[in-house]
Each structure stands twice: as structure tokens, then as C-alpha cells.
Structure 1
């Protein structure tokens, strides 16, 4: 395999940069940092207006004629400017799931709305008592005539404060086995009985707890068959762990850390990068970044072929999240005492972005499937290891 890197988006970089210069407001990145909301609604509106959200989607469901590579280059450019698009990422996961398992009526209702920027979906999987074991959900949904009543609580419903819907996993049959009796619903966030409570995290992002008290949704909000929600979840989790939104493939830690090391003076008159050990450590981070890119490209290639990259997505997510935590721990070690200076502190290296990213990386091995669960899936389904081992 040839691992030589080529910039397949090179033809679109200048146009993407021009789009960002004309449409991205300089204060948006700081607003995301200070508010903890990793989705800027106004930028989302502009991306939809120019057909960037619809790039690569079928025309019958609202797709645009914008080149998907240009759209990827735009998301790259936004990411390089420090902007997150978490709400769009989760929306793409749900939209791709609907494309796979939704009814034709749901596809024609929800997909065009998402690509117009009118529908944005947060994920309502985890609960206070279950964490990553989403199949143990206790939130209940009972049929009431031609609608459903939902009662329960969800945790870590990130960006729900700016989303139009939550993709809620609920138990519809309490007598069924753990992975049976589950169903998924698209619940509007303006529903009577739905409350959103912010939770401030170590990494600075504001996530949410969402509470459902006799929240009524029509039968058309049900995605997939009744009591067969786990089959739908398996599709949704593939997209969460492996594909997600057409976000940036550009990982910049090694670049940013090398830039700091080349100008960071030492008492002996040399710069940090002159230390062979420091240069080697940055090089190892760069290698891991390339491996993550290779995993991501493999997953995207499988999706482009029409495959569902279940194992590959789990492998990508496991490697990238574990590597991210190692990288930022290594980074603070390289920076020394100054590494613990937070954004806003005087003399913080690179304005404190390394310290902030270190805190934010803590959750990466938890959301989208904890590393322990991903290892079990890979061991059982890819390596065909036994589920139970003898004592």
C-alpha cells in the first residue's frame, strides 16, 4: 500500500478559503469557546444556503449540485479556523440512518429539511444509570392511540439547545430481552414536556441532560419497526463511530506543536525542536495522525461503495480516540510547566489551546462507544474470539 499523502482537495482549497473569508465571522470561534456550544447556527444557515450541506446527497432528497470535495474543503477550512460543527455531525449520522432504514415518507420529510439547515438532530442515547451501555435504556415509550408518550431522562444530549429534534432511544417492551423491546423516535425539542438542562464539562463544552415527561409524538416519528430499535441503533452507531459528517480530516496537533517547538527558546539558547527526543515525540504524533487519516479514508471509501463499515468504524474510533489522549498527554509533557496554562493566561503556549484540548480529550474514549466496548466488538466480530473465556 502506498501511504504517500496527496491533497485530494487541493483544487478546491482556494475557493473554500474564499468562501470562509466571506462567510465566517472572526468572533464565532471565540463564541463557541466561551459559550461551550459547539455549533454556530448562523454559519449552519450559510452552509445550507450555498448548498454545501447538500453536497453528495441524492437530488430527490434535497441534494445540491455542489462538488462534495469542495464541501469537504469548506469544512476543513472552518475546522482550521477553530470552529466545531457537532450539531451537523450528529444530524448527518441520523440522516444517513434514515437513508438506510427510514420509510420513503420519512426520507422525503426529514432529509430535505436537514440539507436546508432547518432540521438539526441531537443524540438521545445515554442515560444517568447506563452510560455507554445504551441497550440498558429505561426511558419508556407507550403507544397511546395513534401516538406515543415518552417518559424518562437522557444524559450528554450535546447541542440539543440549538437542535430541532432529538433522536431518542426508548424501551417499548419491558418484558423483552435487553437488546429487544427498544425503539427510536425523532422527538422535536419544542415538544410539551421536554426540558433541556445544561451540563458544563471539564473540556469546556456544554452538554445537556434532557427530561421527557409525557412527551407525545406521532407514530410517524418512529424510525424502524416497533421493538426493533437495536437494529436501527447498530446502523446509527456505525455512522457515529466511523463516518459522521464531512468534517475535517486535517489533524493539526503535530503541525501546531512543531511550530511552537521551533520558536520556543531554552535557557541554553537552543529551541525546543533542537532536542532530538522532542522532535521524535512530535514525529510519532504525526505518524498516528496519518494512521487515523488512513482509517477514516478506508471507512469513507466503504461507504462510497455502498457498504456499511461496522468493524472498520469501530477500529477507527478506537484508534483515534486512544491516540488523541496519548497525544495531548505527551504534548503537556513536552511543554513542561507552561503546559498547564489555560487559554487567557499570560505566556500560555499557543494561547492555551494545548491545555484546553488536553481537558477536552478526556471524553473521547467514552462518547460514541467506550473503548472497552469497542475492543469487545472487534475481538468478537473481527478476530472471532470467544465471548466467554474459561477460568
Structure 2
């Protein structure tokens, strides 16, 4: 793979900037921070209506003729303005999984609607008491004719209060090992028996606890085989760990370095003139560049028809642990200023916000321990450290 530095989206940057100037309301950034919800329904609907969500997708499932490179440039410009699109990130992840493993009926029902911006899908994996061990799911789904009756609860169902569907990991067989008795269902969040309660996190995000009481899901919205949910999860996690839309804009380290060029240090000289500070920022920049290159490898494997399971695990492991190293160094570097939120702190409190959200980075999407096991076993050929239960 050629890692030569070039901007493959350069010809689309001007048009993407013009699009964002016209359509992106700067007030949306403040709204995200005050509500803790990283999904804007107005923006999402607009992206769907203009065919940007469907760029590059197969035409038979709702793909549009919008150039995928232009769409990516728009997404990156949105990210550069401080907006996140978590609703699209999870929807895209599940829609791509559906294309890999679902029935033709499910593909036709869900994917085109998702690309039009009408369907927003969130993840229902984690349960109270099971943490990142998703295979320990106890939510029960019992077959009743052409439907499944679902009972149980999920934790950290982010964006559920603004979504239409949830991708539920359920227990359909209690007589086999935990990895073999799972089935994925796509449930509507406005159906009777579904309850969504807010959970506000240390990082300022609103996530949710969701509860399901005799919720009925048609078998047509079963994604993958009965009791074959672990295989479906492996496909979904590949898309979660690196193939989602890349954010745009300068990195946090780049922002801090730009700030340090003029911010005075203890001796009154610019902070970046201190060789120790420059070295620390350089090391962090190297971490970020390694993460970027690993992410490019993941997207390259996916774009050539592969399933970058190992590559995604490598990228997720490095980037999440680098994020925690980054906030530790930046907190030491900025001192008490790193703890100032919003306009009271440097860079509008970007370091303070990163400090609060970093602890969870090595847990969601698969813990660092699990990522190390995947790399050790599947890339290095080492024996399993623990049996499949």
C-alpha cells in the first residue's frame, strides 16, 4: 500500500466548503455540547435528501450518483466545523452489515430508507452487568410464529432517543455456549413495550438505557441466521472499528501546537519554543499519524472487498490508547488551564472535553484486552489466552 501524502479529495474541498457554508448552522455545535446528543436530525435529513448518504452504495439498494469523494469531503468539512454524525455512523455500520448477511427482503426494506435519511439505527449490544463482554447477553428473544418476542434491557444505547431502529443482540438459545446462542434483530424504537431513559456520561454525552417488554419483531428483520449472531457481530464490529466516515479538520494536537506558538510559557516566551514541549507534541503527533495510517489501511482493505477484522482491531487498539496518552500529556502541558471548560479554557475547552471523554475510549467497540487477543491470535498465530465460553 502506498502511503505517499496526497489529498485525494482536493478537487472537492472548495465545493464541500461552499456546501457547509450554505447548510451548516454554527449554532448546531453549541447544541451538541449542551444536549450531549451528537446527531442533528435536520442535517441528517438534508444529507439523505441530497443523496450524500447514498454516495458509493449499490444502486439496487438506494445508492445515488453523487461522487463518493465529494460526499466524503462534505462529511469531513462537517467534522471540521465541530459536528459529529453519530446517528449516521451507527446506521452506516448496521446497513453495511445488512448488505453482507441479511435476506434480500431486509436489504430492500432497510438500506434504501437508511440512505434516504429516513431510518436511523443504533446499537443494542451492551447489557447492565455484562460490560464489554457482549457475548454474555441475556436479553431473551422467543420465536412466536413469524415474530420474535423480546424481553430485557440494554445499556449505553447512544442516540436511541432520536433513532427509528435498534440493532439488538438477543439470546435465542440457552442450551449452548454463550457465543452460539445469539441472534441479531432489528427492532423499531417506537413499538409498544420500548422505553428509553437518558444516561449522562462523564464525557458530556447523553447515552441511554433501553428497556424492552414483550416487544415484537418480525422474522423478516432478523439479521443473519438464528443462533448465528456471533458471526453477524464479527461483521458489524469490523465496520465499527475503522471503516466509518473519517472526521475532518485539524487534530487536537495540531490545535494545541498552533495555540502554543503564541501562548506564553513561564518565562514569557512562546510555549512552543520550549524544546521539551516541542518534543512532547511531536511524539503525540507521531501517535496521531500512526493512527491515521492504520485507518487508511482499514479503509483500503474494505474498499477492495476485504473484511479488515485484524486491521480494524489494530487501528482501534492503537488509536484508543493513544487518545489516553494524548490527554495525559496535554493535561500536564497546559496545567490548570487544561481543566477549564468552554470559552474559559484554551481552544474553547477542547482539552478539558477530551480529558473527560478519553477514559471510555479503550472500552467501547471492544476493550484493549480483546483487541490484543485478536491481533495476537489472528495475525501473530499465538494460542488463545482463554477458551470460548
TM-score bucket of the superposed structures, by smaller chain:
over 0.9
Give 1:153 shift. Answer: 0.6
Give 1:247 shift. Answer: 3.0
Aligned residue in 2 for 1:65: 65
Contact 1:168 1:185 in 2 (8 A): yes
Residues 264-279 of structure 1 correspond to what in structure 2 (within 5 A)?
264-279=263-278
1:198 partner SS: strand
* 1:383 aligned onto 2:384: no
Q: 1:275-328 CA distances to partner (integer Å, 9 max, x unpaired)?
A: 011111111121111111111111111111111111001001111111111111
Residues 229-308 of structure 1 correspond to what in structure 2 (within 5 A)?
229-244=229-244, 246-248=245-247, 250=249, 252-308=251-307
Contact 1:72 1:248 in 2 (8 A): no
What is the distance in 2 between the residues matched to 1:220 and 1:42? 30
Aligned residue in 2 for 1:120: 120
Contact 1:241 1:314 in 2 (8 A): yes
Give 1:108 shift. Answer: 1.1
What is the distance in 2 between the residues matched to 1:194 and 1:118? 20
Q: 1:177-214 CA distances to partner (integer Å, 9 max, x unpaired)?
A: 11011100000010100100110000000001110110
Contact 2:77 2:248 in 1 (8 A): no
Decide whether aligned partners of structure 1 residues 55 and 336 sit closer, same or farther in structure 2, where only a CA change above 3 A counts: same
* 1:211 aligned onto 2:211: yes
Residues 110-189 of structure 1 correspond to what in structure 2 (within 5 A)?
110-189=110-189
Aligned residue in 2 for 1:324: 323
Contact 1:182 1:230 in 2 (8 A): yes
Aligned residue in 2 for 1:48: 48
Pick from 345, 357, 371: which aligns with 1:374?
A: 371
Aligned residue in 2 for 1:79: 79
What is the distance in 2 between the residues matched to 1:67 and 1:358? 37
What is the distance in 2 between the residues matched to 1:153 and 1:269? 56
Decide whether aligned partners of structure 1 residues 95 and 78 sit closer, same or farther in structure 2, where only a CA change above 3 A counts: same
Pick from 348, 353, 356: which aligns with 1:356?
A: 353
Contact 2:97 2:232 in 1 (8 A): yes
1:247 partner SS: coil
CA RMSD of aligned residues (A): 1.3
Contact 1:120 1:164 in 2 (8 A): yes
Structure 2: tracts of 5 or more residues without a match = none
TM-score (norm 1): 0.96
What is the distance in 2 between the residues matched to 1:195 and 1:381? 40
What is the distance in 2 between the residues matched to 1:363 and 1:66? 36
2:178 partner SS: coil
Aligned residue in 2 for 1:339: 338
Give 1:242 shift. Answer: 2.3
Give 1:386 shift. Answer: 1.5
TM-score (norm 2): 0.97
What is the distance in 2 between the residues matched to 1:277 and 1:50? 49
Decide whether aligned partners of structure 1 residues 248 and 306 sit closer, same or farther in structure 2, where only a CA change above 3 A counts: same
Q: 1:159-188 CA distances to partner (integer Å, 9 max, x unpaired)?
A: 111110000000001111110111000000
Give 1:266 shift. Answer: 2.7
Of residues 85-94 and 267-276 in structure 1, the stretch that sits farther from structure 2 once superposed is 267-276
Give 1:4 shift. Answer: 3.9
What is the distance in 2 between the residues matched to 1:4 and 1:327? 25
Structure 1: tracts of 5 or more residues without a match = none
1:320 partner SS: helix
Count of residues paired in the alignment: 386
What is the distance in 2 between the residues matched to 1:341 and 1:388? 43
